[in-house]
Chains A and B, each alone.
Chain A
């Protein structure tokens, strides 16, 4: 991210914000509430566009990509939201498999296999049919992580403040 400015109304959230993350690097951004952490991350996946400045991911200028190119980029990015943003009308298994259905080279069987693998990682394998409101414990942390990253993306982002969250799997 180079010299990014972003304001919401009269509130300037990012001012001349510059950040470089090298391939293979793991980076944590720590800041007070409202300091712009989530705002910065959302620029990286094109959920927000900067008022000024530019954002590059894998040498692509995210802020200039058209919709189809943006979706192609997002297939390579895993993103975990602060409050999980799970689809509460779907089962746990359906949540985990959502992103995989957008991969053109994955069959239904391969998707089911990968979903089972991811749920096994977080100890939810026997609960694939359960709907989210009935999931006990921290409903945000357990389904959210594999749900957003079962595709083994090259880039992983989380805006989570989840207690005890584990690093996401990376290529």
Chain B
């Protein structure tokens, strides 16, 4: 059965690589937790990272939210016309934006912008020995590079998502009023109909977990970059792919655990 052996070997190699990667990720997480007490190393960089991860990501996040709100309103109208009162368009746009599409689409957009950027930046530092240089200068590279980025991600992702949610709903309102012959009163009646404060908390909890994921995954692949410029490109790509998969899995996890 010689034709069976190569696929089994390939599965074995992939399994071993994956398990080793999970182990390295665990070590990095423990090092990052320990590095929290070295505030003098990470605190000076926190504001800069918050600006880079949050403020500079606003244009793409709001762009995504704008068109999401427009499309939601149009598709809701298409679905509900003749079936239920049209103010349900507001209910669908408001609920879907806050509970699902706002946090998830924002996180997916930012995994490309923020995650790839972090992986490439730290990966380039790894292949040019700048991280080794930090170590020889008695800087803990995890405290210096990873902690400010991860904390900034946890703080700024919810802020960006809240703004994205608001713009998405506003875009839906604008579309409903201009294209669907609805009044703003009708639209907002629908938004308030199914609104619960817990929806906002749910959105924030999800965005914090997505922010931690995107930044931590970017840092992990950056730290483990090998192979020069090609390796940096690979790290950036893997950071986006893996963080996308984790975001979608977390999305399902939070829905299953917090929406019962």
Residues of A within 8 A of B (CB): 42, 45-47, 67, 71-72, 74-75, 77, 79, 81-83, 85-88, 98-99, 102, 148
Residue on A nearest B138 in the bound complex, by CB: A71
CA distance A79 to B130 in the complex (A): 12
Q: Which residues of B contact A42 (CB under 8 A)?
A: 132
Is there contact, CB below 8 Å, between B138 and A74? yes
B135 within 8 A of A: yes
CA distance A46 to B136 in the complex (A): 9
Q: Which residues of B contact A81 (CB under 8 A)?
A: 129, 132-133
Q: Which residues of B contact A74 (CB under 8 A)?
A: 135-138
Q: Which residues of A contact B128 (CB under 8 A)?
A: 83, 85, 88
Q: Interface 1/0s, chain B 117-134, versus A by CB < 8 A?
A: 000000000001110110
Is there contact, CB below 8 Å, between A77 and B140? no
Q: Which residues of B contact A99 (CB under 8 A)?
A: 137-138
Kindly identify which residue among B129, B136, B140 contacts A45, using a CB–CB cutoff of 8 Å: B136
CA distance A67 to B135 in the complex (A): 10
Between A and B, 29 residue pairs with Cβ closer than 8 Å are: A42-B132, A45-B136, A47-B132, A47-B136, A72-B138, A74-B135, A74-B136, A74-B137, A75-B138, A77-B136, A79-B136, A81-B129, A81-B132, A81-B133, A83-B128, A85-B128, A85-B132, A85-B133, A86-B130, A86-B133, A87-B130, A87-B133, A88-B128, A98-B139, A99-B138, A102-B137, A102-B138, A148-B133, A148-B137
Number of interface residues of B (CB under 8 A): 11
CA distance A72 to B139 in the complex (A): 10
CA distance A159 to B132 in the complex (A): 13
CB distance from A80 to the nearest CB of B (A): 9
Q: Which residues of B contact A85 (CB under 8 A)?
A: 128-130, 132-133
CB distance from A91 to the nearest CB of B (A): 15
Tell which of B128, B129, B136, B140 has the most Cβ of chain A within 10 Å: B136
CB distance from A47 to the nearest CB of B (A): 5
CA distance A148 to B137 in the complex (A): 8
Q: Which residues of B contact A75 (CB under 8 A)?
A: 138
Q: Which residues of B contact A83 (CB under 8 A)?
A: 128-129
Tell which of B130, B133, B139 has the most Cβ of chain A within 10 Å: B133
Tell which of A46, A74, A85, A87 has the most Cβ of chain B within 10 Å: A85
Q: Which residues of A contact B138 (CB under 8 A)?
A: 71-72, 74-75, 99, 102
CA distance A102 to B141 in the complex (A): 13
| 3 closest cross-chain pairs (CB), A and B | A85-B129, A71-B138, A85-B133
Q: Which residues of A contact B130 (CB under 8 A)?
A: 85-88
CA distance A75 to B136 in the complex (A): 8
Q: Which of B30-62 contact A (CB under 8 A)?
A: none
CA distance A82 to B127 in the complex (A): 12
CA distance A42 to B129 in the complex (A): 12
Q: Which residues of A contact B129 (CB under 8 A)?
A: 81-83, 85
CA distance A102 to B133 in the complex (A): 13
CA distance A86 to B137 in the complex (A): 12
CB distance from B101 to the nearest CB of A (A): 35
Q: Which residues of B contact A47 (CB under 8 A)?
A: 132, 135-136
Kindly identify which residue among B132, B133, B136, B140 contacts A67, using a CB–CB cutoff of 8 Å: B140
Q: Which residues of B contact A148 (CB under 8 A)?
A: 133, 136-137
Residue on A nearest B125 in the bound complex, by CB: A87
CB distance from A85 to the nearest CB of B (A): 4
Is there contact, CB below 8 Å, between A98 and B140? no
CA distance A79 to B137 in the complex (A): 8
Q: Which residues of B contact A86 (CB under 8 A)?
A: 130, 133
8 more A-B residue pairs beyond the given contacts A77-B136, A86-B133, with a C-beta to C-beta distance below 8 A: A45-B136, A46-B135, A71-B140, A83-B128, A85-B129, A86-B130, A99-B138, A102-B138
